[in-house]
Structure 1
Amino acid sequence: MSTPTLTRVRMAYARIEAADRPEVWIDLRPQQEVESEARSIDARVAAGEQLPLAGQLFAAKGNIDVQGLPTTAGCPAYAYTPEADAPVVARLRAAGAIALGTTNLDQFATGLVGTRSPYGAVRGAYDPQRISGGSSAGSAVAVALGLVDFALGTDTAGSGRVPAAFNGIVGIKPTRGLVPTTGVVPACASLDCVTVFARTLPEAERALSYMASPSARELPPLPQRAPGPWRVAVAALSQLGELDDGWGEAYEAAVARLRDAGAELRTLDLTPFTEAAAMLYEGAFVAERYTAVGDFVDKLIAEGGAGLDPTVAGIITRARDIPAHRLFADQDRLAALRTRALAELGDADALMLPTAPGHPTLAEVAADPLGTNARLGRFTNSTNLFDLAAVAVPAGEVAGLPFGVMLIGPAFTDERLARIAALLQPRLRVAVVGAHLSGQPLNPQLLALGATLDRTTTTAPVYRLHALPTVPPKPGLVHVGEGGAAIEAEVWRLPAEGLGRLLAALPRPMALGQVELADGSSVPGFLCEPAALPDAPDITTHGGWRAYLIR
């Protein structure tokens, strides 16, 4: 007998086969093994166990421990078999999510291109001639192609954000330390973060909520935010440097959308951010990559270097000879740049930038592997050096390919950044008159989908309202034309994907249709099938559901 999670697993493996992207994966769990786990999950749910992520399928970047699979970090000779899941994987599994496998990456998480791997270059989800972005390449493409619901990556220099931008998905890079990095092969241990990719912001936030450890770092006292609209810093195009054709216009369009959504915008000097970004690889901080895996790389080179990506090997071995005095000098310079950067941010809630300056082809990366990679980190490299949080979201298209922006802010402002980022997502209006109203039992469904209240109003006077015998109690709104009345309503704005999910979960006798409002406009809203009305008392005279409840 097929069960809900089992069905989703079978569909996922069918999609993986149909996608024919073997370079996405390093190790994929046997389908029979995953089906057995799915049956167990569904049995536990049926027995009453609370598994909030039941049915969710995810992948983990190949430098994150998944019990039962080798951890390779993109290097076959480095592989080891972990005795247990990394804590972040264990937490997701404890909530009912199922790991399908480990994904390809720039070897030892060294790169932003997704091509530096003996397992093959991971091609972009939209254009196979372009890179997917790295180092969390396979994880991002697995999400973009719909092979998994969400995926784990890591981000030291932008690896949880650049692949999100190139593949039209969401990437959240949380505050350092909020998500544990135990069980993760380090790139630069003092900077590394575990990140999450998903197709929508609410899905990414939901997964992150089960990954995080609120007590991992002591929460510092955050400045009291002055009331008012969101304050967002932006950069002048002249400071962004060379961008791909159309990317400057796409950025300005995203800035305009924030302004139209009510954000207060201001321009800052981007110089301290870009100067710090250049230091990540050009300065002494790259020496920490040698600390992580340098001895292993040296040994493997001595044995012939089989399975080593030459670009990665060169970066790591050159870091071995950086003198200690240079590290201390760079730390002093970084501290000064951070002070300048935070002063530029001032009381802004976030800084919005393009996630990357352009989207290169595989051929362009092959022709200039170091220069192309360095360009991609122009806006992302400084984030962890400055101890900031970030979220990357889609912000339109340029020439048929995804364009993305990121919101960056101080540590522990993760939720704030997500709320600002949500303003950039395509949003639709929906009218509600009953259990989805503010404060009512089903309102959390809207909030979980990233919905925000647009306004309170009434319908046009052409409806009757009935009390349905459902659990939880809810009303049924029916269009009658003459003989109707105005009914209290709220109009909410939510992402287009959220409205689709809401509709998919809508139980009968509810249906989605056009609701006429008092101002003459029409928006999608919840209506009721007439067949459900004979046993549902007419409560129209109360003027609305809340008034009926307090009668």
Structure 2
Amino acid sequence: MSPVRERIDELLTRARQRDPRLRAYITLLDEQARQRAEELDATPAHTRGPLHGTAVALKDNIDVAGVPSTAGSPHHGRTASCDATVVRLLREAGAVIVGKNNMTEFAMGVTGRNDAFGDCRNALDDRRISGGSSSGSSVAVAAGIADAALGTDTGGSGRVPAAVNEVVGLRPTLGRMSNRGVLPVSPSFDTVTPIAPDVRTAAAMLAALDHLDGDGTSVEGSRTPVETALDDGLADLRVGVATGFFADGLDSGVREVLAAAVASLREHGARVRSQEVPDAEHAQDRMLEILYPEAAALHRDRLRDAPGTIDPDVLRRLRLGAGISAGRSEKARRWRQRFRQRVDEVFASQDVILTPTLPTDVPARDSVDLAASTREIARYTYVWSMYGGPSITVPCGRHPESGMPVGLQLAAAPWREHVLLRAAAGLERITASTSA
């Protein structure tokens, strides 16, 4: 049997064995994946793409031609007429699409809950949340039933599940990648998110998708190749460790992991200092005043005509959005402009800002208050979504009490993914050497 076909067969067999417990997939594309693997095995070596044979899973709000896109809802399913732009680019780079991942309905929620397709289970401990809304994408990578995945991230939907499943989740600069063929939550904030077992794979995924599509969802920018500084190390990198809002109420175990990482960064030559992020404490509230109304507008007809077909927690959020006035949203947009300008000033003297990804240990599934979960679990990720620059979560150790993974989040100025990935790769290397 040829190499790619053999690998894909092994991965699909493993997925069939493990997924009934994990519920990371809604649809496995066995036949399509095997056919693609055979095509790649027949491809001359000199024409092979950078992702040749990489098995990629997709969140089920990303279109694959001829395959239903459910967006996590049993009432939304429609068969896509064509591939999303990011799927086309993955295929051109040599990837094999192996399936569509479970997700929180309409990508609204951070716990991994889905009553229709089954709650997605954390890959390390199924008593804990899997994170959301890109739950299945992160779990599939963490469980070894995908080499990499694409999720989406609005306020933290890619970074939160990546962190709690001990993988890498990369939110690029808003507008760096196309959203054509991806069901939105909030066009003002949505982006496709590479999820991978390590920083180098996440960078390779982003490099393959770094494309100005001309469809209005991707924008002009200074696209420095994202992989150019991966091996440059940490020497003289300016790292601001966020204080204030990012330190208030922080779990003691997460604080311990953060402190160890900061000490290691200094030992490896990074120029580390404390850094206040102005108005960070208000970013989530202002963002929700834009996000929720956009989501409510997208689902207006269903909200009006068939509210009983919407998950109760999602319905609650959509109704909140429907109750926010246009004037209030516009005021929040003006606030956002000022916030971005103030954070730009921070990045004039810092290359990256370091924070925990979550302020808490990975919560138990049966202890999560759904109404409060987004505000608490994702409060650190929302800040960088509101800003619009790239951010990434990297596994950086285990919680001293629970043994669950702790992710640390790095953020950079817009279009500075090459710097962000340099820092993330450096942090990953020192974490690996410390735990070895």
TM-score by length of 1: 0.72
Letter in 2 for 1:331: R
Task: Work out whether 1:393 is the aligned partner of 2:394.
Answer: yes
Q: Aligned-pair distance for 1:299?
A: 2.2
Q: Aligned-pair distance for 1:389?
A: 0.8
* Greater Cα radius of gyration, structure 1 or 2: 1
Name 1:3's counterpart in structure 2.
Answer: 2
Q: In 1, are the aligned partners of 2:69 and 2:80 still within 8 Å (CA)?
A: yes
Letter in 1 for 2:351: D
Letter in 1 for 2:276: D
Name 1:39's counterpart in structure 2.
Answer: 38
Counterpart CA distance in 2 for 1:159 and 1:68 is 26
Q: Aligned-pair distance for 1:322?
A: 1.4
Q: In 2, are the aligned partners of 1:116 and 1:312 still within 8 Å (CA)?
A: no
Q: In 1, are the aligned partners of 2:105 and 2:114 still within 8 Å (CA)?
A: yes
Name 2:206's counterpart in structure 1.
Answer: 208
Which residue, out of 299, 304, 316, partners 1:298?
304
Name 1:23's counterpart in structure 2.
Answer: 23
Letter in 2 for 1:418: L
Name 1:320's counterpart in structure 2.
Answer: 322
Q: Aligned-pair distance for 1:220?
A: 5.7
Q: Aligned-pair distance for 1:110?
A: 0.7
**CA displacement 1:77-126 (0-9 Å, x = unmatched):** 11111111101011111222111111011111111221145212111111
Q: Aligned-pair distance for 1:394?
A: 0.7
How much identity, in percent, do the aligned residues show?
34
Please identify, of 56-65 and 268-277, the stretch whose mean Cα deviation from structure 2 is larger: 268-277
Which residue, out of 153, 156, 160, partners 1:155?
153
Q: In 2, are the aligned partners of 1:126 and 1:167 still within 8 Å (CA)?
A: yes
Counterpart CA distance in 1 for 2:317 and 2:223 is 38
Counterpart CA distance in 2 for 1:219 and 1:425 is 27
Letter in 2 for 1:294: R
Which residue, out of 312, 319, 337, partners 1:310?
312
Q: Please state which structure has a larger fraction of its residues in helix.
A: 2
1:412-451 paired onto structure 2 within 5 Å: 412-427=415-430
> What SS does structure 1 have at the residue aligned with 2:68?
coil
Q: 1:171 to 1:221 in 2, by over 3 A?
A: closer
Counterpart CA distance in 2 for 1:221 and 1:170 is 21
Task: Work out whether 1:329 is the aligned partner of 2:365.
Answer: no
Please identify, of 285-294 and 92-101, the stretch whose mean Cα deviation from structure 2 is larger: 285-294
Q: 1:130 to 1:22 in 2, by over 3 A?
A: closer
> What SS does structure 2 have at the residue aligned with 1:44?
coil
Counterpart CA distance in 2 for 1:221 and 1:402 is 32
Letter in 1 for 2:345: A
Counterpart CA distance in 2 for 1:326 and 1:278 is 12
Which residue, out of 46, 49, 52, partners 2:50?
52
Counterpart CA distance in 1 for 2:223 and 2:65 is 38
Which residue, out of 286, 301, 304, partners 2:292?
286
**CA displacement 1:489-535 (0-9 Å, x = unmatched):** xxxxxx67xx9xxxxxxxxxxxxxxxxxxxxxxxxxxxxxxxxxxxx
Q: 1:239 to 1:418 in 2, by over 3 A?
A: closer
Letter in 2 for 1:360: P
> What SS does structure 2 have at the residue aligned with 1:195?
strand
> What SS does structure 2 have at the residue aligned with 1:246?
helix
> What SS does structure 2 have at the residue aligned with 1:58?
strand
TM-score by length of 2: 0.90
1:240-255 paired onto structure 2 within 5 Å: 240-255=247-262
Letter in 1 for 2:5: L
Letter in 1 for 2:24: V
Q: Aligned-pair distance for 1:284?
A: 4.3
Q: In 1, are the aligned partners of 2:278 and 2:342 still within 8 Å (CA)?
A: no
> What SS does structure 1 have at the residue aligned with 2:44?
helix
Name 1:383's counterpart in structure 2.
Answer: 384
Name 1:106's counterpart in structure 2.
Answer: 104
Q: In 2, are the aligned partners of 1:74 and 1:117 still within 8 Å (CA)?
A: no
Aligned length: 416
> What SS does structure 1 have at the residue aligned with 2:23?
helix
> What SS does structure 2 have at the residue aligned with 1:208?
helix
Letter in 2 for 1:296: R
Q: Aligned-pair distance for 1:388?
A: 1.2
> What SS does structure 2 have at the residue aligned with 1:93?
helix
Q: In 1, are the aligned partners of 2:200 and 2:425 still within 8 Å (CA)?
A: no
Counterpart CA distance in 2 for 1:210 and 1:257 is 32
Please identify, of 321-330 and 83-92, the stretch whose mean Cα deviation from structure 2 is larger: 321-330
Structure 2 spans left out of the alignment, 5+ residues: 225-234
Q: 1:118 to 1:271 in 2, by over 3 A?
A: farther
Q: In 2, are the aligned partners of 1:189 and 1:292 still within 8 Å (CA)?
A: no
Q: 1:53 to 1:12 in 2, by over 3 A?
A: same
Letter in 2 for 1:38: A
Q: Aligned-pair distance for 1:271?
A: 4.8
Which residue, out of 74, 77, 87, partners 1:76?
74
Q: In 1, are the aligned partners of 2:65 and 2:80 still within 8 Å (CA)?
A: yes
Task: Work out whether 1:174 is the aligned partner of 2:172.
Answer: yes
Name 1:268's counterpart in structure 2.
Answer: 275
RMSD (CA atoms): 2.2
Q: Please state which structure has a larger fraction of its residues in strand.
A: 1
Q: 1:317 to 1:8 in 2, by over 3 A?
A: same
Name 2:373's counterpart in structure 1.
Answer: 372
**CA displacement 1:47-99 (0-9 Å, x = unmatched):** x5333322110100010001121011111211111111101011111222111
**CA displacement 1:223-269 (0-9 Å, x = unmatched):** xxxxx811111123775222334111111111112111211112122
Q: In 2, are the aligned partners of 1:298 and 1:317 still within 8 Å (CA)?
A: no
